[in-house]
Amino acid sequence: MARSSAKAAIATLLTVISFFLPGGLTHHRSPTTYIVGNEFGWDLSIPADTWASDKTFYGGDILVFRYDYQLDNMLVVNQTGYETCIPNEGYIEYNTGEDMIQIAYGGNYFIGTATPGDCWGGMKLAINALAPDNKD
């Protein structure tokens, strides 16, 4: 009986200690911050969907949109607004020139601009946020 109590105590102690070790029992990925368009920012230099094509986005990741607020803006629209470059009813406008969106798991994000020519020129982005993975 004493032997099984000692084993249980050791197992409990090891479990508690593991929570204080780096990563604990699980090792979760930290959110990644992306500057949309990299050094070019949110403009026509690089189509946003091309910029995003080699990236995987996860819930919790942060998208940063940098642009000249006097010339451009950024809109979160629905899929129809994205496809037609016409802002839908209920769109959300950002216009500070340094806007951030933290994306949620399972969220489909359709982002464009109010200037139809710029939108058709590539200033639009469609992404889906996957479940956060357990890797760094």
- DSSP track, the chain: -HHHHHHHHHHHHHHHHHHHSTTTTS-PPPPPEEETTGGG-SSTTS-HHHHHTT---BTT-EEEEE--TTT--EEEE-HHHHHHTSPPTT-EEE-SSEEEEEPPTT-EEEEE-S-HHHHHTT--EEEEPBPP-S--
Domains and CATH numbers, the chain: 28-128 (2.60.40.420)
The amino acid sitting at 101 is: I
How far is residue 93's CA from residue 91's CA, in Å, rounded to a whole number? 7
pLDDT (tens, 9 = 90+) of the chain, 136 residues, equals 555 554 444 444 444 444 444 444 444 678 999 999 999 999 999 899 999 999 999 999 999 999 999 999 999 999 999 999 999 999 999 999 999 999 998 889 999 999 889 999 999 999 999 987 655 4
pLDDT at 65: 97
Query: For residue 118, what pLDDT is reported?
Result: 95
pLDDT score for 86:
95
Residues in the chain: 136
Check: CB of residue 81 under 8 Å from CB of residue 114.
no
Residues facing residue 56 across a β-bridge? none
Which residue in 48, 42, 81 sits closest to 64, CA to CA?
42
How far is it, in rounded angstroms, from Cα 37 to Cα 51? Answer: 6
